[in-house]
Amino acid sequence: MENEQLLESVRNKALSWLSDSYDAETRAAVQKLLDNPDPTELIECFYKDLEFGTGGLRGIMGVGTNRMNIYTVGAATQGLSNYLKQEFDHLDQIKVVIGYDCRNNSHKFADISADIFSANGIKVYQFEDLRPTPEMSYAIRKLGCQSGIILTASHNPKEYNGYKAYWDDGAQMVAPHDKNTIAEVNKIRSAGEINFKGNKALIETLGKEMDDQYIKDLTTISLSPDSIKRHHDMKIVYTPIHGTGVHLVPDTLKAFGFTNIIHVPEQDVVSGDFPTVISPNPEEPAALSMAVEKAIAVDAELVMASDPDADRVGAAVKNNDGEWVLLNGNQTALMFVYYLITRWKELGKVSGKEYIVKTIVTTELIRTIAEKNGVELFDVYTGFKWIADIMLKNEGKKTFIGGGEESYGFLCEDFVRDKDAVSACAILAEIAAWSKDQGVTMYQLLQKIYVEYGFSKEKGISVVKKGKSGAEEIDAMMKHFRENPLKEIAGSKVTLFYDFSTLKGYDFMENETLTLKMPTTSNVLQFFAEDGTKVSVRPSGTEPKIKFYCEVHAKISSEEELPAAEHAAHEKIEQIKYSLGI
């Protein structure tokens, strides 16, 4: 009976898409779904509305209420327009920036969004071609806009697209604007309520001039220009993985002073089909394989790759045996924090008001480095909007050094309010040059950090659960871990349990309930064990998966002890996976 009711509800929603409010191509595609004797795809396309969440939209492209298409994008833009007109009714002219990445339909969705904003009397600055997400954030602040959007699904597979919405500080929205915008988007119940007829007089193109300003400002964050001069010709392999970093990253590296940037020509081809990779995700070794092959061929010293919207960076370096190894997001974040704090101190820039930001699932070694150097640390939820929120709250009071997360995102400058692979690539290259001045490789620099601050190994595990049944499975898994908290992790007693959905925790050593100080609730669970092990569990907000973050620690006194520590950590993580049943 329940399945029959679901199918009837889905069919009714689909039938409403056969009205004249929808274009002929959409109507034909919906009719084809309705005519198919197998209702599986019809249900997937219509069983729910693609949710405009606190980060915007993200989903598979296609027809239907649960897909990315001109109508779901249109509803998002109309709802955002309505909210902007309420919130900024005192302004003579409301202004927004629109950017888009290399994905199929991104340009189309950007053009439609520009028409809708302008039809609602809102001034639009639209980039002439694909651009990195961080440059869109930069442009919001530079042009004094009230909002901005970018059409991107970040590192998701090619079937996906997305729509990220930003506020006037250049950051993705937080309360109250996220919830208020969601409410307005949810009021749009049909295509007939979307004003698609644009006003071209209100649409202005952004081009090279904005690129030049952005790159010029990025060069101001360089901390070791003399090191770059000495090692300007070091061989750096960079790939945009078919995405928006294709021009901006090499141009920024050159502006910093690097003169030997080596491309992977096949991956400089801009394409939403990502023809050379299964997934354009710099977290995955396969995405960097062609760049590493190029590095071996030319005997390079550093490999870097950015994701399609150029907000995240993956890197590879040579180990002590000359073999190429990939750095994970925690390791690059560690190197950024260590380098930035070290150089800020050496340059006399640390006065006691400086701070670093990390997310709660990112390595605790960052906390150790910050605290030992007298730099304040803020711990925030996953999602760079929370790092940007700390930056906004501290503006004019404290000084931002850097902020990052384990998922390969880092920000080294305060004039952008989202993770930035353009600046991250430049600073990573600078770290490589600075390391050479210290007589060490980047790999050896990482080893040095481990000896000085303690060894840490992190492992992220994602369990994919697709579709409606998958979402239900993920809910059940979270419910199980919440109601049956782990008592031990790989043989070590759990001392702390945090449930961020209730902002309550429990200290098992003191037998007391804790109140967690966070700006809002989040569906995240964390367990800390006696031996320093940390396990975090959360459903992804943008993909059909549940994520487990495992972190184990060891104290070492020399680099010679690292292999044994690495082996022990690997074994412990396998034990943790067994404990978690994954």
Rounded Cα distance, 185 and 366, in Å:
38
Nearest to residue 442, comparing CAs of 288, 324, 311? 324
H/E run at residue 86: helix 70-87
Dist CA 31 CA 52 (whole Å):
26
Do 375 and 401 touch, CB atoms closer than 8 A? yes
* Bridge partners for 494 per DSSP: 529
- Contact of 29 with 63, CB cutoff 8 Å: yes
Q: What gap in Å lies between CA 350 and CA 375, rounded to an integer?
A: 8
Q: Which is the catalytic residue, given 118, 154, 224, 522?
A: 154
Q: E strand or H helix at 422, and its extent?
A: helix 421-437
Report the 10 Å Cβ neighbour count for 400: 19
Determine the straight-line distance between the first and last CA of the chain, rounded to whole angstroms: 34
Residue partners of 310: CB distance under 8 A and separation at least 6: 132, 133, 134, 240, 243, 244, 245, 248, 249, 421, 422
Q: Is residue 488 a contact partner of residue 533, using CB atoms and an 8 Å limit?
A: no
394: tokens are 């501290």
Extract the runs of DSSP E, i.e. beta strands, from 282-437.
302-306, 313-318, 324-327, 354-359, 376-380, 399-405, 409-411
Residue type, 470: G
CB neighbour class for 578 (10 Å; exposed up to 12, middle 13-18, buried from 19): exposed
DSSP string, 430-445: HHHHHHHHTT--HHHH
CB atoms within 10 A of CB 290: 20
Annotation says 154 is catalytic = yes
Catalytically annotated residues: 154
